[in-house]
Amino acid sequence: MDWFKKININIILLQIVFSTSLFFLYSGFNYEILYFENFSWFLKPSITNDIETYWISWEFFRSTDYLQFPLLLNPNYGEGLNVSIYHTDAIPLAAFVFRFFTDILPENFQYLGSWSLLSFFLMSFFSYKTLNLFIQNKTICFVSSIFFLIAPPFMDRVFLQQAVSSHWLILAAIYFYYSNNIKYKSWNLLLIISILINGYLAMMVFAIFTANIFLLHFKTQPSHFFKKFFLSLALMSFVSYATGLFSIGKGIKEGGFDLYGMSILGFLNPSSPTGSYSIVFDNLLSSSVLFVKEVEGFAFLGIGVLLLIVLILSKFRSEPSGLLNSKIHSPILLVATLLFIYSLSNNIFLLGNVDFLGSERILSYNVPKFLEPIVKVFRASGRFSWLLFYLIYIFSFVRFSEFFNPKKALTILCILFLVQVGDNYRIIRIFNNELESTSIHSQALEKIKLKDPIWQIIGTEYEKVNIYPLINKPRDYTRMAFFASAEGLSTNFGYFSRINHTIKERLNDEMYMNFNNGDFPEKTFYVIQDDDLWKTLLISYDKNISSVFIGEIDGYKLLIPGFNK
């Protein structure tokens, strides 16, 4: 029986209700993360630390010129490093849109909690649309779709890394692939949106797009395949260039491919950096096994879906699926398999992917020279397992729907859903603690404000703060960056997904020369984080020298040229 069809229920309304409810449940009912002026849930030492730079980089970006080029360049956050909003994972699309409303937005404004909620809804929307292509019973289709909202790799990042957790882009691309009426323009729009959210997700969307045009054109009209492939690739490249993805030059290539892969048994590993996603596995497996974590390659299927797969395998002798045996699946499965192989990286582990965390490496090989540029750009290879992950979800629910009558299928699905939610109890408690806000939200900002009255003078008389030595994510950078953004100063530092190390070293050399010859740029002061240099500077710039202030204020070792003591 299809109850939804019988009572003519509004699916969109139901998706809003369920996605919002699961958002609240898994956030530990910390609904205050949705408040635009609430920063207290991520301005504290915790696993949410990366969000600090998402927000701070936005605070700098909102003051940039509308017509700058590249459009998403963030010149005052990491001045001289040529970084853009891409390189802080601050959801470039959202930052670009909100930039036009900055004058009417609150002075301190965060959109990260709201994006998390939006991702919950879009996961529900596109998973339902995709499943409905194969499952005609809307009730079963909807109940199956809510499993996607609690998919562990999505849940593990949705509150902590909002851009890369936009997995609905993968589901949207899968829906486009299996739909017969999606126009080429719609594909290009999806490709543009994806590149404006996250590069890894954009590459997965492009891979699915390639599989789709291969299916449609390669055998009958190969010229159409190559034309669409290269036109769309050129479009994505142009958008990336015009918006600043390539602004850091060679810095786009970083090491780490050998560190950030997925293990062969990654789909069965419930341990992520956040915690364990299975109480059942915790009780069944030894502590030495549970300590082995997946990092970038975390893609645990979830206890409910694993039990669903067991039920499907128990019906192995049933008649072949008419829906899943079609040749239409071959291109996307090939792409998903190739991406999964890439996700294993060149250090292949059986379980987990970090040597010092107890993982057991079973194979290692050198990356071929011609692949080095690719692996340096897409170094977090474990993420590319997500396409296969979601295909497993889709095929499992489609196949399951063929085995049982609707009433029995719904009963089983509801039980498995409750089992999976219950199995996630510890994760829900972790998010309850991690996302907790202070009773007075403004107190969080007060905690990171610099206290000494001297900062009011510095904020008025100076235009730039430099940290020496310049590194990615300097020690205690958050308070100084917040001060700079609030006072309209630029910084030479920040926390970025990647930087151009050649430029970084050149900037360090220039600062060191300035310290040696005493010739400093106008209206620039320095935070010194090199203890040996600090001792030298204390001798070189005696406190009796009136043209330079040197001393420690609010925990920062400062050298302030031209400061009138």
pLDDT value for 546:
64
Q: What SS3 class is residue 316?
A: coil
Q: Which residue, 187, 197, 167, is CA-closest to 391?
A: 167
Rg, Å, the chain Cα set: 26
pLDDT band at 4 (very low <50, low <70, confident <90, very high): low
Render pLDDT for 422-451 as a digit per residue (tens, 0 to 9): 999 999 999 998 898 887 767 777 888 899
Cα of 524 vs its chain's centroid, Å: 34
* 441 phi and psi angles, rounded to 5 deg: -60, -35
Number of Cβ within a 10 Å radius of residue 107: 9
Q: CA–CA separation, 143 vs 135, rounded Å?
A: 11
Q: Which two tokens stand for residue 563?
A: 């400061």
pLDDT, tens digit, 9 for 90 and up, residues 108-161: 899 999 999 999 999 999 999 999 999 999 999 999 999 999 999 999 999 999
Spell out the alpha helix ranges (H) of 368-405. 372-377, 386-401
Q: What is the pLDDT of residue 162?
A: 95
Q: What percent of the chain is helix, strand and coil (3-state, nearest 5)?
A: 55, 5, 40
Instruction: Please state whether beta strands 524-528 and 464-468 pair in parallel, antiparallel, or not at all (unpaired).
Output: parallel
How far CA 434 is from CA of 29, 137, 424, 430, 437, in Å, comes to 12, 39, 15, 6, 9
pLDDT score at 565: 55
Mean pLDDT confidence for 487-492: 96
Asked whether the predicted pLDDT for residue 356 surpasses 50, the reply is no
User: By CB neighbour count within 10 A (0-12 exposed, 13-18 middle, 19+ buried), where does 304 fall?
Assistant: buried
Per-residue pLDDT tens digits for 408-424: 999 999 999 999 999 99
Distance of CA 39 to the CA centre of its chain: 19
What distances in angstroms separate CA 195 from CA 99, 269, 390, one per listed residue? 18, 30, 20
Higher-confidence residue of 77 and 433: namely 77
Nearest-CA neighbor of 409 among 123, 121, 13, 131? Answer: 131
Per the CB < 8 A criterion, the answer to whether 234 and 260 are in contact is: no
> Span 363-375, mean pLDDT?
84
Cross-sheet strand order for the sheet of 524-528: 490-491, 464-468, 524-528, 556-561, 548-553
Other Cβ atoms less than 10 A from the Cβ of 541: the count is: 17
How far is the CA of 451 from the CAs of 436, 447, 555, in angstroms? 25, 9, 10
Q: Does the structure show a pLDDT above 60 at 291?
A: no
The residues facing 412 across adjacent strands are: none
Amino acid letter at 290? L
Indicate the pairing of strand 556-561 with strand 524-528.
Answer: antiparallel
**For the residues 276-294, what does the mean pLDDT come to?**
74
Mean of pLDDT over the chain? 90
Least confident of 260-264, 340-344, 397-401, 556-560: 260-264
The sign of the torsion formed by the CA atoms of 397, 401, 406, 407 equals: negative
Q: What integer pLDDT is reported at residue 468 of this predicted model?
A: 97
Sequence-distant (≥ 6) Cβ neighbours of residue 69 within 8 angstroms: 242
Share of the chain above pLDDT 70, in %: 92
The model's confidence at residue 365, banded by pLDDT at 50, 70 and 90, is: confident
Question: Of the ranges 29-33, 97-101, 372-376, 388-392, which one carries the lowest mean pLDDT score?
Answer: 372-376
Q: Which two tokens stand for residue 23?
A: 């958002």
CA–CA dist 84, 247 (Å, integer): 7
What's the mean pLDDT in 496-517? Answer: 93
Count of other CB atoms within 10 angstroms of residue 388? 22
- Whole-number Å distance between alpha carbons of 123 and 148: 7
Q: Is 37 or 238 the better-scoring residue by pLDDT?
A: 238
Among 163-177, 195-209, 306-320, 529-543, the least confident range: 306-320
What ranges in 62-198 are assigned the alpha helix state H? 92-99, 112-131, 138-149, 152-158, 168-178, 184-195
Best CA proximity match to 261, nearest among 328, 145, 348: 348
Helical spans, DSSP H, in 196-327: 199-217, 222-243, 279-284, 287-290, 303-314
Give the three-state DSSP class for 517: helix
Q: Which has more confidence, 142 or 273?
A: 142
In 3D, which of 167, 130, 160 has the Cα closest to residue 145?
130
Residue (of 489, 563, 412, 366) closest to 76 by Cα position: 489
CA dist., res. 371 & res. 173, Å (int)? 26
* pLDDT, tens only, 182-236: 999 999 999 999 999 999 999 999 999 999 999 988 888 999 999 999 999 999 9
What b/e readout covers 233-265, taking b as 16+ CB neighbours within 10 angstroms?
A: eeebeebbeebbbbbbeebbbbeebbbbbbbbe
